[in-house]
Amino acid sequence: MFKHLLVPLDGSRLAESALPAAAYLAQTLGARVTLIHVIEHDAPKEVHRERHLSQPEEAFQYLDEIAARAFPASLAVETHVHTGEVKDVARSIVEHTGELQPDLIVMCSHGSGGLRDRLFGSIAQQIIAAVRNTPQRHAPVLLVRPGKDAPGKPFELKKLLIPLDGNPEHEQGVPIAAGLAQACGAALHLAMVVPTLGALRGEHAASSRLLPGATAAMLELAETGGQAYLQNLLPGLEARGLAVTGEVARGDPAPTVALIAERAGADLIVLGTHGKAGTDAFWSGSFAPRISSKTSLPLLLVPV
pLDDT in tens, 196-221: 655 555 555 545 444 455 555 555 65
Pairing of strands 141-144, 299-302: antiparallel
* Amino acid at residue number 165: D
Query: How many CB atoms sit inside 10 A of residue 39's CB?
Result: 19
Provide the pLDDT confidence category of residue 130 given band limits of 50, 70 and 90: low
Show which of 144, 173, 197 is a domain's final residue.
144
Nearest to 16 by CA among 107, 82, 90: 107
Q: What CA–CA distance (Å, rounded) separates 215 from 210?
A: 9
Instruction: Tell me which range, 99-103, 181-185, 228-232, is most confidently predicted by mean pLDDT.
Output: 181-185
Query: How many CB atoms sit inside 10 A of residue 159's CB?
Result: 18
Residue 150, pLDDT above cutoff 90: no
Least confident among 61-65, 266-270, 285-289 = 285-289
Number of domains in the chain: 2
Residue 156, pLDDT above cutoff 50: yes
Residue 256, pLDDT above cutoff 60: yes
Provide the pLDDT confidence category of residue 279 given band limits of 50, 70 and 90: very low
The mean pLDDT of 78-95, rounded to a whole number, is 78
Residue 149, pLDDT above cutoff 50: no
Higher pLDDT, 141 or 33: 33
Q: pLDDT value at position 250? A: 85
Q: What CA–CA distance (Å, rounded) separates 26 from 103?
A: 12
Query: How many CB atoms sit inside 10 A of residue 286's CB?
Result: 15
Q: What percent of the chain has pLDDT over 70?
A: 67
Show which of 94, 119, 144 is a domain's final residue.
144
The mean pLDDT of 237-244, rounded to a whole number, is 96
Question: Do both 169 and 40 map to the same domain?
Answer: no
Give the domain range for residue 138. Answer: 4-144
Q: Is residue 179 part of a domain?
A: yes
The mean pLDDT of 183-193, rounded to a whole number, is 95
Question: Do both 11 and 63 map to the same domain?
Answer: yes
Q: Is residue 231 part of a domain?
A: yes
Q: Is residue 93 part of a domain?
A: yes
Nearest to 293 by CA among 259, 255, 253, 260: 255
Residue 80, pLDDT above cutoff 60: yes
Q: pLDDT value at position 113? A: 46
> To the nearest whole number, what is the mean pLDDT of the chain?
78
Residue 136, pLDDT above cutoff 80: no
Q: pLDDT value at position 95? A: 76
Least confident among 3-7, 91-95, 117-121, 129-133 = 117-121
Nearest to 274 by CA among 175, 132, 143: 132
Residue 128, pLDDT above cutoff 50: yes
Residue 117, pLDDT above cutoff 70: no
Residue 142, pLDDT above cutoff 80: yes
Q: Is residue 240 part of a domain?
A: yes
Question: Do both 77 and 201 map to the same domain?
Answer: no
Q: What CA–CA distance (Å, rounded) separates 28 from 86?
A: 34
Kindly report whether the global pTM for this prediction surpasses the value 0.85.
no
